[in-house]
Amino acid sequence: MSELVSSEPAPFIPDNLTVPQFFFDYDHPLRATRPKASLSSSMMLLVTDIILEEDEIVCLYAPNHMGNRILNPLGDYAVVFWALHRLGAISTNSNPAYTVEELTHQLRLTKATTIIVHTQFLKNAAEACKEVGLPAERIVIIDQATFDAPHTTIEQLIQDGLSHNANFVERKLGAGEAKTKIAFLCLSSGTTGPPKAVAIPHYSVIANTLQIRAHNYAVETKANVPQDQWKFRPGDIITGVLPFFHIFGLILNVHVMLYSGMGIVIMPKFGWPGFLESVKRHSITHLLVVPPMIVLLCKHPATKEYESELKNIRFCFSGAAPLSSELANQLEKVLPNASLGQGFGMTETATAVSMTSALEKVGKAGSAGIAVPGVKFRVVKEDGTLAKLGERGELVVHSPSNALRYWENPKATAETFLEGGWVRTGDEVEFDAEGNIYVVDRLKELIKVRGFQVAPAELEGHLLSHPDVADVCIVPVPDEFSGELPLAYIVLHPPAAVRAASSTAETDAIKADLSKYVSDVKVQYKWLKGGIEFIDAIPKNPSGKLLRRVLREKARAERAAAEKAKATL
């Protein structure tokens, strides 16, 4: 297999439009049939007293936010970054859970000159701005109608703008300019080190929206699928709980679903069973989730109380991290009437480059789907040669949606963004004869036991099928003989946790049972010889990816302390 090419060609992608110009002013054959959404509040922002230079960078530091103005289709959050694009500016959306140090890193990295913040996070924003030298008047409040000086609010800016004659003329892009003009600086997940800012042009957002529409709507209509069986229909309702600052929520949840004519129930934060209550209250038909949410769907006792509502779910899509076949099988039972899909993408490919086929109700077990239109894949082995069908190697992607580079980081750019528009993913994969992609694991997260490679995701998927296990993360610990051994950090379900807390003997018995659960079905070098530790929660980033490095560092520190204590005896 020299290259695997998508079965469908890329749709026509205009290259002279900004994101809001494409979404709100331009008619494309793949656009869902529905009235054009109003962007009145965004237009109001165009006549405010905020002076922004072309390509100036503005940080949006807030949760998914719903404003109180009826004409805002997605609340203030999305309207704000579309308004910034209308003005020619760049949006760098930040995780509202960031500490002062983390936000300071993003502001310094991107050189943002203004920050738009939710009042809940104003204290951190003010401290970070002080660290980087941003004056208080460059802090704008997103969620309140009035605020004491020196800060102003979005609402005040809008009202002030309305009191003046409009004097702003939106710039039109030249041919091809959308491919180089930056729309977003999105931070990478940070699972293997400090976050990097990924430069995503307007063209990438437009391209991926059209690729996913072509992958679904165009394929369905070509195959004469009845409209009531389309995956995404105008009028369907989808969850909006994925954080909009993350690439998965930003492109798939906001742009693709809006372009498909769907309603989005915005959820500022995730909670269970509040999530289920929203499904019931808003008659939600589509779930856009990450694997930890699927774990709750399958294992949380509250799920059973919503069985009738979950029967109304027509589609459930999981992304951002691999979903094990064991968990997928459980999900089919919880959502008996839903089509189930997975996909693969990353910030650097902005975003999905593979998805379950639109013509399949349930994708192949363990698969992240097939290439979306316009995508080419290569699988590169360690020796640099291209893998054959069924062989494993690093996935390298060519897509019209690929980002341009890492912002002001030429070294990291050279390592990931290759000549000819290819992007290295850092993920080990293999393909089957039908073009389905199977993500084995992050290459840098593979555990080497006596020279054998152990994929943490494989063990995690198996352990999650055990009735006592609510969540799990596998990390390597150093071993003098084997090099590394797998260690399991496990979150127990409440009944098992109560048993474990009752006595040391019960704790040991649960650990022995879980260890045997792995050794009964896995080759010896995959056994949990690094041990099992119980933990209250597995650290994850907002997109649902395990922050494996946090627990890896924890394990190393604990082992080092134990060795030091042993040496002093």
The pLDDT assigned to 42 comes to 46
Nearest to 206 by CA among 399, 470, 427: 399
Q: pLDDT at position 16, please?
A: 98
What DSSP character marks residue 73? T
Whole-prediction pTM: 0.85
pLDDT at 490: 97
Residues 78 and 62: beta-carbon distance below 8 Å = no
Structure token digits, residue 266: 């915005």
At residue 51, the pLDDT reads: 66
Query: Which residues have a Cβ under 8 Å from the Cβ of 165 and sit 6 or more positions away?
Result: 47
Pick the residue with more confidence: 2 or 364?
364
Per-residue pLDDT for 49 more than 70? no
Which stretches does DSSP call E strand in 480-549? 483-492, 532-534
Q: Which range scores top for mean pLDDT: 288-292, 314-318, 475-479? A: 314-318
* Orientation angle between helical segments 291-299 and 325-334, nearest 10 degrees: 50
**Higher-confidence position of 274 and 479:** 274
**Dist CA 247 CA 93 (whole Å):** 10
Tell me what pLDDT residue 62 has. Answer: 94
129 pLDDT more than 60:
yes
Find tokens 């949380």 and name the residue: 300
The two tokens of residue 155 are: 């609402």
Rounded Cα distance between 444 and 441, Å, is: 8
Which H or E run contains 516? helix 504-519
The percent of residues above 70 in pLDDT, for the chain, comes to 93
| CATH code that applies to domain 4-10+198-443 | 3.40.50.12780
pLDDT digits (tens, 9 = 90+) for 292-307: 888 889 989 999 999 9
Taking only the tens place, the pLDDT of each residue in 154-175 is: 888 877 777 777 677 889 999 9
392-435 tens-digit pLDDT: 999 999 999 999 999 999 998 999 999 999 999 988 999 999 99
Question: The tokens of 436 are what?
Answer: 């389905």
pLDDT at 501 over 90: yes
Q: Judge residue 184's burial from the number of C-beta atoms within 10 Å of its C-beta, 0-12 exposed, 13-18 middle, 19 or more buried.
A: buried
How many beta carbons lie within 10 A of that of residue 25, not counting itself? 12
Cβ neighbour number for residue 37 with a 10 Å cutoff: 15
Residue 569: is its pLDDT beyond 80?
no
What is the tally of helices (H) and strands (E) in the chain?
Answer: 19, 25
The domain locations on the chain are 4-10+198-443, 19-172, 446-568
What confidence score (pLDDT) does residue 449 get?
Answer: 85
Largest CA distance in the chain: 80
* In the predicted structure, residue 386 carries a pLDDT above the cut 90: yes
Among 360-369, 449-458, 494-503, 554-563, the range scoring the smallest mean pLDDT is: 449-458
The answer to whether residue 193 scores a pLDDT higher than 60 is no
- Cα of first residue to Cα of last residue in the chain, in angstroms, is 58
Q: Is the pLDDT of residue 44 over 50?
A: no
More confident call, 500 vs 327: 500
Amino acid (1-letter code) at residue 484:
E
pLDDT at 285 over 80: yes
3-state secondary structure of 393: strand
On whether the CB atoms of residues 77 and 65 are closer than 8 A, the answer is: yes
The average confidence (pLDDT) of the chain is: 89
SS3 label, residue 325 = helix
pLDDT of residue 11: 96
Type of residue found at 371: A
pLDDT exceeds 70 at position 46 = no
Q: Quote the CA–CA distance of 501 and 508 in Å, as a whole number.
A: 11
For residue 441, which amino acid is it? D
Q: What is the reported pLDDT for 38?
A: 47
User: Would the pLDDT of 52 be above 90?
Assistant: no
pLDDT band at 43 (very low <50, low <70, confident <90, very high): very low
Domains 19-172 and 446-568 share a fold: no
Say if residue 70's pLDDT is above 50: no
- Over residues 560-566, the mean pLDDT reads 80
Phi, psi of 56 (to 5 degrees): -65, 150
Q: What is the pLDDT of residue 451?
A: 64
CA distances from 265 to 257, 282, 284, 389, 464 (A): 11, 8, 8, 41, 29
What class does CATH assign to 446-568? alpha beta
Among the ranges given (75-79, 164-168, 409-413, 491-495), the one the predictor scored with the smallest mean pLDDT: 164-168
> Quick one: pLDDT at residue 568?
73
pLDDT band, very low/low/confident/very high, at 529 (cuts 50, 70, 90) = very high
Is residue 191 over pLDDT 60? Answer: no
Q: How would residue 563 be classed by pLDDT, with cut points 50, 70 and 90? A: confident
Pick the CATH number of 19-172 from 3.40.50.980, 3.40.50.170, 3.40.50.2300, 3.40.50.300: 3.40.50.980
* 220: pLDDT strictly greater than 50: yes
Q: What pLDDT does 45 receive?
A: 52
- In angstroms, the CA 526 to CA 455 distance is 9
The whole-number average pLDDT for the span 33-46 is 50
In the predicted structure, residue 2 carries a pLDDT above the cut 60: yes
pLDDT band at 390 (very low <50, low <70, confident <90, very high): confident
Of the candidates 277, 260, 423, 298, the residue with the CA atom closest to the CA atom of residue 353: 423
Contacts of 282 (CB under 8 A, 6+ apart): 237, 265
Other Cβ atoms closer than 10 A to 20: 23
pLDDT of residue 327: 84
Give the per-residue pLDDT at 441.
72
Strands 286-289 and 315-318 turn out to be: parallel
Q: Tell whether the model's pLDDT for residue 567 goes beyond 80.
A: no
Q: Would the pLDDT of 48 be above 70?
A: no
Q: How far apart are CA 214 and CA 21, in angstroms?
A: 20
Higher-confidence position of 320 and 224: 224
